[in-house]
Amino acid sequence: MDKDYLKIFEETRALMYGHFVLSSGLHSDTYFQCAKVLQYPKYLSLFGEVLAKHFSSLDIDKVISPAIGGIVLGTEVGRRLDKKTIFSERSEGVMKLRRGFNIKKGEKILIIEDVLSTGGSIKEVIELISKYGGNLVGVGVIVDRSLKPVFIHDNYFSVTTQKAQIFDKDNIPENLKKVPAIKPGSNTIISDAIELD
């Protein structure tokens, strides 16, 4: 990960160190919560600018982001590109367009998301775009923290990459076992995380 970005993530507590149980059930010594970075206008502006510049040469009709993590960033990228911005959301477990949003057949769509982990949400949005007959022209994220390479799109771009240490519950290192495990997530606000020795 780029040193300057790492410093930003650590200062905003977006990148936390401790003992975390991920939604997959695996354990990690780091956790990344992008929303903590994007609450600061200067960093929202910074990452929005990097992503917008990368995709500025494309012919784009709309920017779409999956709710809820990508909405703020997608809106900033759309503002910078001067393109209409919409978001998709899960309803009854299925990614949908609601609130009067639509994708017309042949519209050129750019997906913006905050973090790539497994790629699941982005793939659901890709399927949604295809269902409406839209034309996906690119996918951009701030942080790629996928454990193994995930093919998303030929025109995929991440501002930076974070490689976390991930452990199975039966293979946790001794120093990590000594730290109380926290289950982070969108329903849990973590104000502090424990620094490892």
Domains by residue range for the chain, with CATH: 1-33+165-197 (no CATH), 34-162 (3.40.50.2020)
First to last CA, the chain: 21
pLDDT at 23: 67
Partners of 65 in the β-ladder: 87
Residue 142, preceding peptide bond in cis (omega within 30° of 0) = no
Instruction: Give the alpha-carbon dihedral of 113, 89, 185, 192, to 10 degrees.
Output: 60
Strand ranges across the sheet with 166-167: 15-21, 27-32, 166-167
Nearest to 83 by CA among 44, 115, 109, 122: 109
Digits of tens for pLDDT over the chain (197 positions)? 567 888 999 899 998 888 988 766 778 888 888 889 999 999 999 999 999 999 999 999 999 999 888 899 999 999 999 999 999 998 888 888 899 899 999 999 999 999 887 788 899 999 999 999 999 999 999 988 877 777 888 899 999 988 778 888 888 888 888 888 888 764 444 454 444 43
Q: Which residues of 64-98 are buried (b: 16+ CB within 10 A; e: fewer)?
A: bbbeebbbbbbbbbbebbebebbbbbeeeeebebe
With a CB cutoff of 8 Å and minimum separation 6, the contacts of 176 are: 19, 27, 29, 167, 196
Q: Name the token pair of 158.
A: 């991440």
pLDDT at 189: 45
User: Number of C-alpha atoms within 13 angstroms, CB side, residue 41?
Assistant: 0
